[in-house]
């Protein structure tokens, strides 16, 4: 099992690292899914996290996978083993959770899906590591103590790889990305809800292009 988990974690690490920024997408209307994915990809943002926060999330992710081949679609807000199974079944490339229960960690370790559990404390991180999951989502990042808290966690766990999400935006993304343990950051600032609702796809593409230009790691 551990060899499998390690291989999946490496696959996920490559994906996350290539992303720099992973937009956290909450899609309210199915018809927004494909144009939103196209707008993000046009702006140079290809790794997308569709959260399971709305009734249309699964269908939205399916549409993106089918119609926007350049997008690398993952699922966020995975809360249990059933969510994990649904994510695998629809052909998503990765899964992310805001936190992790023992049941979810066990299911993730046994599944074929590259997966990053959410952690905010040393104990949660130890549970993730016990299941071979060394790439984690630090959430909610700013509200859990920010960069200082991440550095404190990296003391006893220097090899962790992190995608912080929560309270990260244009103003502080670069500071987070400068941390040695951070592979990418997650956030919803690249696609504001108002822009999605109004169909301002060009505006979203422009914001993505600007972020990719300024945030590319050295």
Residue 177 has which token pair?
A: 């990305």
Catalytic residue, chosen from 49, 93, 124, 142, is 49
Residue 71 has which token pair?
A: 């997008």
Catalytic residue, chosen from 93, 124, 137, 142, is 137
- What are phi and psi for residue 68, nearest 5 degrees? -125, 80
- Is 119:128 a contact under the CB 8 Å cutoff? yes
Q: Indicate the SS3 state at residue 101.
A: coil
Q: Indicate the SS3 state at residue 200.
A: coil
To the query of whether residue 137 is one of the catalytic residues in this protein, the response is yes
**Alpha carbons 102 and 189: distance in angstroms, whole number:** 31
To the query of whether residue 49 is one of the catalytic residues in this protein, the response is yes
Residues taking part in catalysis: 49, 137
């Amino acid at each position: 099992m551990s060899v499998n988990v390690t291989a999946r974690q490496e696959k996920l690490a490559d994906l996350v690292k290539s992303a720099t920024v992973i937009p956290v997408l909450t899609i309210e209307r199915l018809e927004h899914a494909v144009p939103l994915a196209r707008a993000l990809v046009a702006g140079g943002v290809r790794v997308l996290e569709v959260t399971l926060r709305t009734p249309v999330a699964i269908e939205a992710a399916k549409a993106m996978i089918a119609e926007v081949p350049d997008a690398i679609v993952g699922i966020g807000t995975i809360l249990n083993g059933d969510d994990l199974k649904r994510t695998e079944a629809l052909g998503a490339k990765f899964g992310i959770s805001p936190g992790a229960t023992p049941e979810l960690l066990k299911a993730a370790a046994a599944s074929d899906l590259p997966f990053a559990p959410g952690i905010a404390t040393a104990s949660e991180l130890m549970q993730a590591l016990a299941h071979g999951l060394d790439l984690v989502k630090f959430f909610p990042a700013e509200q859990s103590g920010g960069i200082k808290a991440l550095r404190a966690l990296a003391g006893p766990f220097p090899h962790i790889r992190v995608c912080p999400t929560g309270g990260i935006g244009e103003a502080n993304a670069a500071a987070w990305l400068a941390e040695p343990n951070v592979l990418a950051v997650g956030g919803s600032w690249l696609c504001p809800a108002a822009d999605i609702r109004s169909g301002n796809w060009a505006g979203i593409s422009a914001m993505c292009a600007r972020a990719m230009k300024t945030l590319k790691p050295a």
